[in-house]
Structure 1
């Protein structure tokens, strides 16, 4: 689990964890660096449900005393807390119950909410305008103009498109003698 979090950009904090002069004996602790400001605590329920609850509650209170803006996330390993235990954990932060993962992909799925989004590769190269040498455009002057305008950004395309629509509704020359 630690490897997945570290590879996703979290920084491991040494244990025992120290916050506001208090020491907390947790199974693991991580902080988000770029994409996340979370303080992630690993709570091993094999150490005892009560111990995990007290540690997480103490950490939440210490963060409050320090006026920290870091969201607290507790990853519960081992038997899943239920009832009042789960409610107590959920009152002070986000709770992720992680079951025994058979492979790294399963673990990544269970921790997905903490991990940065990974976009899939383009499904079709002929639809990805950023690849390839050329683009097959329809034989239409407006299509060519819009494509050329795209080299100068979204605003340029929008301006050219609006000009084309305006031409449709007002094709006349303003100097043709008509009065409005």
Structure 2
């Protein structure tokens, strides 16, 4: 990923399924000039703004983000607002002002793609690691084979009814095993007395 920091952020968001909004951004009949705007599709309903502190300056970025937040309020929008700040990290009053209107993610220059992905992870879909072993993946293509054991079959049937049913089945089996063990011990004692 090369190019300007705002464009690296844009490429990552588009790659994650966000739809880029044409600039200048128009909300409630007002026009806003910011580095970028994206809406989540499917996995996210966020409106994500990109503010470039280095290119546009701190004051302009804050004014644009505050204006967009007010326009969304007027429209009674339910979209969460997230702002990604590239360039110098906002501090003090600027950070406080931006944080009052939505989530703030500061990525500074973000030259490393992996680091940028980590900094924006809260906006990106979760990537699950590949399974370590196909025989441990119950959702794999091969059918799951139960051991030839009545308890395993009973637990599998109980799993169709939920966690509580599995717990009850397990407790019953455990109690039965303990009761059998006690009976065996009692029988051993009687055997010694009879002998």
TM-score using structure 2 length:
0.75
Contact conserved, 1:129 with 1:135, CA < 8 A, in 2?
A: no
Structure 1 residue runs without a partner (length 5+): 172-180
CA–CA separation in structure 2 for the residues paired with 1:160 and 1:86:
50
The offset of 1:42, in angstroms, is: 0.6
Q: Distance in 1 between matches of 2:170 and 2:136?
A: 25
SS in 2 for 1:57: helix
Secondary structure at 2:100 match in 1: helix
The CA RMSD measured in Å over matched residues stands at 2.5
Matching of residues 63-74 of structure 1 within 5 Å: 63-74=72-83
Q: 2:36 aligns with which of 3, 9, 28?
A: 28
Instruction: Kindly state the Cα deviation for residue 37 of structure 1 after the two structures are TM-superposed.
Output: 1.1
Q: Counterpart in 2 of 1:175?
A: none
Among 48, 65, 82, the residue aligned to 2:57? 48
1:17-57 Cα shifts (integer Å, max 9, x gaps) = 00011000001000111111111111010211000010001
2:145 match: 135
Shift in CA distance, 123/42, structure 1 to aligned 2, threshold 3 Å: same
Task: Work out the CA distance in 1 between the residues paired with 2:163 and 2:76.
Answer: 47
Shift of 1:7: 1.6
Gaps of 5+ in 2: 1-8, 180-195
**CA apart distance, 1:134:** 5.2
Structure 1 or 2, whichever has the larger Rg, is: 2
Would you identify which runs of 4 or more consecutive aligned residues in structure 1 move more than 6 Å? Answer: none
Q: Is the 8 A contact 2:155 2:170 kept in 1?
A: no
Deviations 1:143-167 (A, max 9, x none): 13334x27xx621786576467558
The partner residue of 1:155 within 150, 161, 165 is 161
C-alpha distance 119-8 of structure 1, shift in aligned 2 (>3 A): same
Is 1:110 aligned with 2:119? yes
The C-alpha deviation readout for 1:101-133, integer Å capped at 9, x for no partner, is 233222111110100111111123343233345
